[in-house]
Amino acid sequence: MTELLPMAIDCQHLTYRYGQFTAVDDLTLKVRPGETMGLLGPNGAGKTTLVRMLTTLTPIQRGDLRIFGLDSVRQTTDIRSNIGYVPQQLSIEPALSGRQNVEWFARLYGVPRAERTDRVEQALAAMELLDVADRLAGAYSGGMVRRLEVAQALVNRPSLLVLDEPTVGLDPIARDGVWTQVQSMQAEFGMTVLLTTHYMEEADALCDRVALMHRGVLRAVGTPTELKSKVSPSATLEDVFRHYAASDLSEASEPSDFREIRSSRKVASRAS
């Protein structure tokens, strides 16, 4: 049955260059409907560039992309109406209230007029923003802004939700709240989720599978359990990350005595 459904994301040989620099290199990846896929990789690996192609915001230079069987070149509008996207860069309008920001997205993404008010209230309630919904978004705290962006992305009940580091700067309770809400929408509407994160515990707990990128290349794809067992019997997902990407992490190339100084500084600053 599942085999007959088109893949939520089916990209083949995607390549993206900024001038001479290849940010995404011949990348092929499939994401099944209803799946939660984590996209991991060090800073500069090419995650945001890939995500922007998958959401049709960046045009494809080379390769082929289908979202739920829709062609990314000829059916861009259809694809966009199926997608909710939380970009890495802040995307709210500070001169509008929280509620107006979500209403704006509801109009933009074609939520029928008769349903708009209810949907906006539901999205605000889901992100626990009703109390502050009439304040200007420009006066929100960083975490509240992030929650507002998730509310915007959920307002059209997307089939595919794409989240580029959605929980950066959120306190632990707010972070749990975002994921609880995303998972309940997944259970209710069968939504597919693609997320990038640098929090390995988050990826381990939430993702059915993870894809690890390094310098534009897809290095590994699998369930967290599969990938961990390939590295070592006791490996964590962070060990998997280091295994595939260590040479890009500045700490890994530092001399060990410098690493010690740095970690003792961290301990000292935490203690003070």
Ligand X SMILES: Nc1ncnc2c1ncn2[C@@H]1O[C@H](COP(=O)(O)OP(=O)(O)OP(=O)(O)O)[C@@H](O)[C@H]1O
Q: Kindly tell me which of 12 and 43 has the beta carbon lying closer to ligand X.
A: 43
CA–CA dist 237, 244 (Å, integer): 11
Query: Which CB, 45 or 211, lies closer to ligand X?
Result: 45
For residue 89, state whether it binds ligand X (rule: CB under 6 A): no
Nearer to ligand X, 53 or 83 (CB): 53
45 near ligand X (CB under 6 A): yes
Which of 71/251 has CB closer to ligand X?
A: 251
Whether residue 38 contacts residue 196, with contact meaning beta carbons closer than 8 Å, is answered with: yes
Sheet with 83-86: list strands edge to edge: 83-86, 160-164, 192-196, 36-40, 209-214, 217-222
**The binder of ligand X chosen from 8, 47, 65, 245 (CB under 6 A):** 47
Q: Does 40 bind ligand X (CB under 6 A)?
A: no
Options 36, 48, 56, 197; binder of ligand X; rule CB under 6 A: 48
Nearest approach, Cβ of residue 217 and ligand X (Å): 12
Beta-sheet pairing, 160-164 with 209-214: unpaired
Of 28-87, which residues contact Mg ion (CB under 5 A)?
Answer: 47-48
159 near ligand X, judged by CB under 6 A: no
Which segment (38-46, 107-115, 152-160, 257-265) binds ligand X by CB under 6 A?
Answer: 38-46
- With binding defined as CB under 6 A, does residue 43 bind ligand X? yes
Binding track, positions 81-100, relative to Mg ion; x by CB under 5 A: -------x------------
List the one residue out of 182, 244, 249, 216 whose CA is nearest residue 14.
216
Nearer to ligand X, 49 or 97 (CB): 49
41: contact with ligand X by CB under 6 A = yes
Q: Is 11 in the site for ligand X (CB under 6 A)?
A: no
**Residues found near ligand X in the complex (CB under 6 A):** 18, 21, 23, 41, 43-49, 88
